[in-house]
Structure 1
């Protein structure tokens, strides 16, 4: 079953990343028979700016076979742009979908991933970023269980019992960089309902917890578990692996990702029509076209990177190359 593939883009950084996304997807997936969709928020009361993609970038995306799909913000918008990945689901056509964050490159055909669309899942390329239990409690169990209880979900069956109690990996937690399901409307309605409920009336156990920017990642495990899904199996190892790379920021890409990812980035950004668009975006101009990315790459041993991403970010900042 061939899914529709979707990302979200808007004016600014995301539209430039969307060009790299679409160009790399087209190169890795010739003859793809699903739809490649770029979801675009529309102007409205939840935006003080026009978030729509610029005309030259829209034309480039369409040239790579993408369809720009408009959607409206009713619950989120400029104040919480991560909510775009929640609200755009209502606008998707029926049928299975895979969402990817726009800061993703494709290095091999998506057909190499074995999706079971009836059993949703999401990216496990994450750190223990949420929650952050306070010293005297509540702990991970109490915080997460309060959310499962809120929505009538079975908490015990979500646990990874191979991990110790009160260790973050015991609890179902994803990065929202990719996720999938058979029904975008069902997934999206549940995602929206859960996220709005948590934001508007968080359980008491969440009193010390920040939900900005973590709201989507707090709600996502509940959605996936409630729809009969869970942690991804080995058939999905190519996502965040040989098939796709969620690089998060171009300096991180050059510092830590594989030679193949760098090769794809520089190949898809090289043609002159693409270069004329992307050189307007400072990080791409400096890191890709001026070669500063390769200089950054030479500073790091990819076999001995800092243990936490924030440590790597700080090391890049010390070099004056944190361009975002």
Structure 2
């Protein structure tokens, strides 16, 4: 039974921070998440919550945390572990966890969801959130849609989704970007998102995702929705709720306050000296080290200095424009560990 430790209820507008935890890589990333969060937010008065998927028909293997030591550490960081049932996604689409996990949060309270592979580098209190206007991460590449010869173009593909859910398409466009350039269309990385009510956001996110998966518009016939489904429908949710690409000033999340590193190899390869120092500081205590080194990529990258070998391969002032090129270079050097 996981202990649940509630945070302060005295905040007039409490903020609930949510991430996913489950057996395997994410349980060790959750420790880094919690350690860095508490270091960066010593006066945080809200709740730090990890949602944990439970065994059920949509999981062939048990998705729960496998190491009791991880549970103990998360509790030491005053984090709650709250179970949830996978009703729509599960093992076939684990990215759907972030959609279904929103139901563990209290209705009508401000929330921020972060991917578990996030390092906290500054206090959230510095971030000028407007929770009435949702937004998400703009640190993204044009990963979807992939256009096919003689198939629908960007505008036709995206408009079909807006039309499906009765949303205004034209007002979502960034008219400063060229016609048929991917950045003209509202698109986010789902590494973080926020709003004033998880129930409203979560129900719409679930509805749009399930209906797009099960009954996509004809214009999507050539498009791959796995693994992109969450990022395909997230812009629709944010637009429907009155948010957008400019709702949050740049430079805070995915900047001074958080780092969505995705993989430790990429953190070492491209992030600032400050980010690397924070990572190595929060993972230095022995009680943390002895737990997270059970995950081999963490042991090798952080504690056996493979990360610094990866770092030496790249010039932070002249990084490859596409992440895939960085990944390929790391793989060739046998520094791609998962």
TM class, shorter-length: over 0.9
Alignment of 1:4 with 2:20, yes or no, is no
Q: Please list the CA deviations of residues 147-182 of structure 1 after superposition, one character each: whole Å capped at 9, or x if unmatched.
A: 000000000000000001110000000000000000
TM-score by length of 1: 0.98
Q: Does 1:67 align with 2:87?
A: no
Q: Deviation at 1:3?
A: 1.2
Unaligned segments of structure 2, at least 5 residues: 1-12
Please state how far the C-alpha of 1:232 moved relative to its aligned partner.
Answer: 3.4
Secondary structure class of the residue paired with 2:226: coil
Are 1:41 and 1:70, in contact at CA under 8 Å, matched by a contact in 2?
yes
The reply on whether 1:49 has 2:61 as its aligned counterpart is yes
**Distance across 2 between alignment mates of 1:208 and 1:137:** 8
CA separation in 1, counterparts of 2:208 and 2:17? 23
What CA distance in whole angstroms lies between the structure 2 residues aligned with 1:208 and 1:233? 32
Contact 1:123 1:232 in 2 (8 A): no
CA distance in structure 2 between the aligned counterparts of 1:88 and 1:232, rounded to whole angstroms = 26
Does residue 36 of structure 1 match 2:48?
Answer: yes
Is this contact kept in 1: 2:114–2:192, CA < 8 A? yes
C-alpha displacement at 1:296, in angstroms?
A: 1.4
In the alignment, what sits opposite 2:219?
205
Which residue, 11, 31, 36 being the options, matches 1:24?
Answer: 36
SS of residue matched to 1:209: coil
Give the corresponding residue for 2:294.
Answer: 280
Could you list the per-position Cα deviations for residues 213-267 of structure 1 after superposition, in whole angstroms to 9, with x for gaps in the alignment?
A: 0000001000000011111345353100000000000100000011111111111
1:107-138 CA distances to partner (integer Å, 9 max, x unpaired)? 11011111111110000000000001112230
**SS across alignment from 1:218:** helix
Could you say what secondary structure the match of 2:291 adopts? helix
Q: Which residue of 1 aligns with 2:244?
A: 230
4+ residue segments displaced more than 6 Å:
none
1:215 alignment counterpart: 229
Q: Helix, strand or coil: the match of 1:241?
A: helix
8 Å contact 1:37–1:69 — kept in the other structure? yes
The answer on whether the counterparts of 1:145 and 1:155 sit within 8 Å (CA) in structure 2 is yes
> How many residue pairs were aligned?
324
Gaps (5+ residues) in structure 1? Answer: none
Tell me the CA shift for residue 93 of structure 1. Answer: 1.6
- Among 267, 273, 290, the alignment partner of 2:304 is 290
Provide the secondary structure at the position in 2 that maps to 1:229.
coil
Q: Find the aligned partners of 1:177 and 1:122 in 2 and give their Cα distance.
A: 7
| Aligned residues of 2:134 and 2:247 also touching (Cα < 8 A) | no
> SS at 1:235's partner residue?
coil
Alignment check: 8 A CA contact 1:115 1:236 kept:
no
Q: Please tell me whether residue 302 in structure 1 is matched to residue 297 in structure 2.
A: no
Partner-residue secondary structure (3-state), 2:192: strand
User: d(CA) in 1 for partners of 2:279 and 2:315?
Assistant: 20
Structure 2 counterpart SS, 1:165 = coil
Task: Supply the distance in 2 between the matched residues of 1:256 and 1:138 (Cα, whole angstroms).
Answer: 35
Secondary structure of residue in 2 paired with 1:295: helix
The CA RMSD over aligned residues, in Å, is: 0.9
Give how far 1:2 is off: 4.0
SS of the residue aligned with 1:70?
Answer: strand
CA contact (8 A) 1:122 1:232 kept: no
SS at match of 1:314: helix
Give the equivalent residue in structure 1 for 2:9: none
Match of 1:100 in 2: 114
User: In the TM superposition, what are the counterparts of 1:187-206 in structure 2 within 5 Å?
Assistant: 187-206=201-220
Are positions 1:315 and 2:329 aligned together?
yes
